[in-house]
């Protein structure tokens, strides 16, 4: 049983560009959450998708947007990249039946130059 | 809003030493509490959890007890190994009115643990 997978592993972008990160949840999970982990910090909640809609959102600007597909996979899009967007982006999946049990993927390391 | 505070790190111990990493929280209602571990270059792994007051979570020799009166969830291990070297995060999940949760996690800043042979 595959766990949470994310792609790509690493990504280098230039300021002002746009980026799309992808996540496939653990089998049987229907909810996907995204977190940003800056170097040396704990993860910060970006948003959560359930039933293809954004259900909760953290304190992140509208440049951060997402999508959930019918197969429960998800994308995180970041527009107009800033240097401060450089971080590890983590995807976590869970089941609506046990929402507090979050399984994390290995993350995508985004570097903005 | 919810917040989690962990003891300042890093923590450096010799193998077989006793480990304590302090964690306190601020939250409304009765959140679930978690410890996650992050090994170098990897994502987060759930280490243990407790969902109500006085619950004790345990896994791989690690333990933590949900103390509502002191709003704490300190992580302990009686004898650490070199393989325990990692970053440890304390976290809590949100709790809405009526006791429901969507699972949004609030994390502490993490504590780096290094264990020497």
pLDDT in tens, A58-101: 999 999 999 999 999 999 999 999 999 999 999 999 998 888 88
- What is the pLDDT at residue B8? 76
Residue B97 has pLDDT above 60, yes or no: no
Asked if A75 and A21 count as a contact pair (C-beta separation under 8 A), the reply is yes
- What is the pLDDT at residue B9? 80
- Chain A residues in contact with B34 by the CB 8 A cut-off are 100
- What is the pLDDT at residue B94? 79
- Whether residue B107 and residue A43 make contact (CB cut-off 8 A), yes or no, is yes
Q: Which residue of B has its CA nearest to A6?
A: B43
Residue B73 has pLDDT above 80, yes or no: yes
Q: Which residue has the tokens 């995204």?
A: A34
Label residue B99 by pLDDT band (50, 70, 90).
Answer: low
- Whether residue A31 and residue B102 make contact (CB cut-off 8 A), yes or no, is yes
Please state, rounded to an integer, the average pLDDT across all residues of chain A: 95
- Whether residue A100 and residue B43 make contact (CB cut-off 8 A), yes or no, is no
Residue B98 has pLDDT above 90, yes or no: no
Distance from CA of B27 to the nearest CA of A (A): 15
Mean pLDDT of A30-45: 95
- What is the pLDDT at residue B1? 82
How far apart CA A78 and CA A112 sit, in angstroms, is: 11
Label residue A110 by pLDDT band (50, 70, 90).
Answer: very high
Asked if A5 and A105 count as a contact pair (C-beta separation under 8 A), the reply is yes
Which of A107, A40, A64, A103 lies closest to B110 in space, CA to CA?
A: A40
How far apart CA B105 and CA B103 sit, in angstroms, is: 6
Mean pLDDT of B63-85: 96
Phi, psi of A108 (to 5 degrees): -120, 125
Around Cβ A75, how many Cβ atoms within 10 Å? 17
Asked if B20 and B13 count as a contact pair (C-beta separation under 8 A), the reply is no
Label residue B66 by pLDDT band (50, 70, 90).
Answer: very high
Please tell me chain A's helix, strand, coil percentages from 3-state DSSP, rounded to the nearest 5: 5, 55, 40
Label residue B100 by pLDDT band (50, 70, 90).
Answer: low
Mutate to test the interface with A, among B57, B104, B108, B112 (most CBs of A within 10 A): B104
Distance from CA of A88 to the nearest CA of B (A): 9
What percentage of chain B has pLDDT greater than the value 70? 94
Mean pLDDT of B19-48: 92
């Amino acid at each position: 049983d595959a766990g949470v997978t994310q792609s790509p592993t690493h990504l280098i972008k230039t300021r002002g560009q746009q980026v799309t990160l992808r996540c496939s949840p653990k089998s049987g999970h229907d909810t996907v959450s995204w977190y940003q982990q800056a170097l040396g910090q704990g993860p910060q909640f970006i948003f959560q998708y359930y039933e293809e809609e954004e259900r909760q959102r953290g304190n992140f600007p509208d440049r951060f947007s997402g999508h959930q597909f019918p197969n429960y996979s998800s994308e995180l899009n970041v527009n107009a990249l800033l240097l401060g967007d450089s971080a590890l982006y983590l995807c976590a999946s869970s089941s609506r039946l046990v929402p507090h049990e979050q399984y994390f993927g290995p993350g995508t390391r985004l570097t903005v130059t | 809003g919810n917040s989690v505070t962990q003891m300042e790190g890093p923590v450096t111990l010799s193998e077989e030493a006793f480990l304590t990493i302090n964690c306190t929280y601020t939250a409304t209602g009765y959140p679930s509490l978690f410890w996650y571990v992050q090994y170098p270059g990897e994502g987060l792994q759930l280490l243990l959890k407790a969902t109500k007051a006085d619950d004790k979570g345990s896994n791989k020799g690690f333990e933590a007890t949900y103390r509502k009166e002191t709003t704490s969830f300190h992580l302990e291990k009686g004898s650490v190994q070199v393989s325990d070297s990692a970053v440890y995060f304390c976290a809590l999940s949100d709790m809405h009115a009526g006791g429901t949760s969507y699972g949004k996690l609030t994390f502490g800043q993490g504590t780096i643990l290094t264990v020497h042979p």
